[in-house]
Amino acid sequence: MLHRAFVCLLFGALAWGQAANPKPAPQKPTAPKAAPEPAAQAKAAEAAKVPPDAAVITIKGVCDNPTAEGAKSADCKTVVTRAEFERLLNAVAPQIPANARRQVATKYANLLVMAHEARKMGLDKGPHYEELMKIGRLQVLAQELGQNLQEKATQIPDSEIQDYYKKNDAAYQEADLQRLFIPHSKQLEPPKEKLSDEQTKKRQDEADEAMKKEAESLHTRAASGEDFDKLQQEAFTAGGLKANAPSTKLGKVRRSSLPADQGAVFDLKSGEVSQLISSPNGYFVYKIGEKDTLPLDKVHEEIHNALRQQKMQDSMQAVQQLANPVLDEKYFAEGSAAEPPEKSAPPPGNKPPAKAPESGPQ
């Protein structure tokens, strides 16, 4: 339990530090950060003056070799220097903000006290403790491996980013788009009299067929140059939609932001209208406006992140493929659990001693 609590502290501090300092999103440059307040600057300056060998955590009454007087001795104390505490932080949460260090220090001191008591009770010995330590070492090694692979994955030369950009330039195209949407099915008014299931299906099928013809007609009119917003309102009316039709102007759109079955509209020339596209969500007609390709400097960070994620994924898969665990099917059969070995029965003729009655409160 102690070891798991310690691991929770360290990994919790790590997550804390990462959450407090997330990596900036690869978007537009942000405004310069506001300068720290004078009070915070003064505190940081004072903290920086503390020598590396100065005690920053002192726990009185806890020591490895207490004197005959035990914990009451003034010399019985545990001291953590600034250098020791910062080594701990650098190992688990190098980016942790200064205002969070006090809480980590308090928790760390509590762990030292608990660990000291656990050792006094002999809890750091025995197979249970050794098993927990073994698992803990495996977890730390796995984490270190992941961190190492992550650091290597971020080392991407600009030449590799440029090559990726050239080979995938279509993914960085954007264009002014207009989109006309026609629903597949018409929302019908309730029938005046009750219909059979067959009649209901026939009625809906006929309405859907009418919407298909309406979509084809609207596509023809769009291709001939009619206003998309006007056609969109007609599509809503034909589909029985009572809401106001949305604007058909999508603005600047990336190829990658369109559904896979609609990305081909980027192959059109400026001013052209697409074919009628039928998808599970309805019919679509696009008109493409001005097209261009985002320059490399605008997508450099995006490409870097994509390559980093791919390299990390490839590295982890390569590690996992180094070994193929084989599990015993009998032991790990679904729905069954290994039973503990049965206790041996007492020899014949030897009755087990009667259980002594439990004593109640006096």
Helix H, strand E, coil C: the string for 9-39 is: HHHHHHHHHHHHCCCCCCCCCCCCCCCCCHH
Residue 254, in any domain of the structure: yes
Average pLDDT, the chain: 83
pLDDT at residue number 92:
84
Percent of the chain with pLDDT over 70: 79
- Pairing type for strands 173-182 and 249-254 reads antiparallel
Distance from C-alpha of 80 to C-alpha of 66, rounded to nearest angstrom: 17
Residue 333, in any domain of the structure: no
Nearest to 191, CA basis, from 177, 206, 175: 206
Same domain, 130 and 181: no
Residue 326, in any domain of the structure: no
CATH of the domain at 252: 3.10.50.40
pLDDT at residue number 131:
96
What confidence tier does 64 reach under pLDDT thresholds 50, 70, 90?
confident
Q: Which residues pair with 78 in a beta bridge?
A: 59
Joined together, the tokens standing for residue 177 give 């788009």
Angstrom CA distances, 33 to 37, 110, 177, stand at 12, 36, 36
Q: Which residue type is seen at 50?
A: V
Same domain, 114 and 202: no
pLDDT at residue number 235:
96
* Cβ neighbours, 10 Å, residue 309: 11
Same domain, 19 and 86: yes
Same domain, 176 and 113: no
The predicted model scores a pTM of 0.64
Digit-coded pLDDT (tens) for 110-156: 999 999 999 999 999 999 999 999 999 999 999 999 999 999 999 99
Digit-coded pLDDT (tens) for 294-314: 999 999 999 999 999 999 999
Residue 120, in any domain of the structure: yes
Same domain, 126 and 234: no
Q: Which residue type is seen at 95?
A: Q
The burial class, CB within 10 Å (0-12 / 13-18 / 19+), for 123 is middle
Hey, is 337 helix, strand or coil? coil
Domain boundary residue among 279, 295, 311? 295
Distance from C-alpha of 273 to C-alpha of 287, rounded to nearest angstrom: 4
What confidence tier does 336 reach under pLDDT thresholds 50, 70, 90?
low
Angstrom CA distances, 209 to 42, 70, 190, 221, 239, stand at 76, 92, 19, 19, 12
Residue 164, in any domain of the structure: no
Residue 47, in any domain of the structure: yes
Digit-coded pLDDT (tens) for 268-286: 999 999 999 999 889 999 9
Higher pLDDT, 201 or 58: 58
CA geometry: angle 49, 51, 54, nearest 5 deg = 125
Q: What share of the chain is helix, strand, coil (3-state, %, to 5)?
A: 50, 10, 40
Domain boundary residue among 245, 263, 295? 295
Joined together, the tokens standing for residue 86 give 């910062």
Q: What is the domain range of residue 88? A: 2-25+42-135
Distance from C-alpha of 25 to C-alpha of 305, rounded to nearest angstrom: 10
Higher pLDDT, 318 or 242: 318
Residue 16 has pLDDT above 90, yes or no: no
What confidence tier does 212 reach under pLDDT thresholds 50, 70, 90?
very high
Residue 85, in any domain of the structure: yes
Residue 222, in any domain of the structure: yes
Ranges 102-111, 247-256, 331-340: which has the least confidence: 331-340
Distance from C-alpha of 56 to C-alpha of 50, rounded to nearest angstrom: 9
Count how many residues are written for the chain.
362
pLDDT at residue number 20:
43
Q: Which residue type is seen at 53?
A: D
Rounded to an integer, the average pLDDT of 231-241 is 94
The burial class, CB within 10 Å (0-12 / 13-18 / 19+), for 10 is buried
Total domains present in the chain: 2
Joined together, the tokens standing for residue 331 give 């032991």
Q: Which residue type is seen at 100?
A: A
pLDDT at residue number 337:
59
pLDDT at residue number 323:
86
Rounded to an integer, the average pLDDT of 224-250 is 94
Angstrom CA distances, 139 to 7, 39, 143, 221, stand at 9, 41, 6, 65
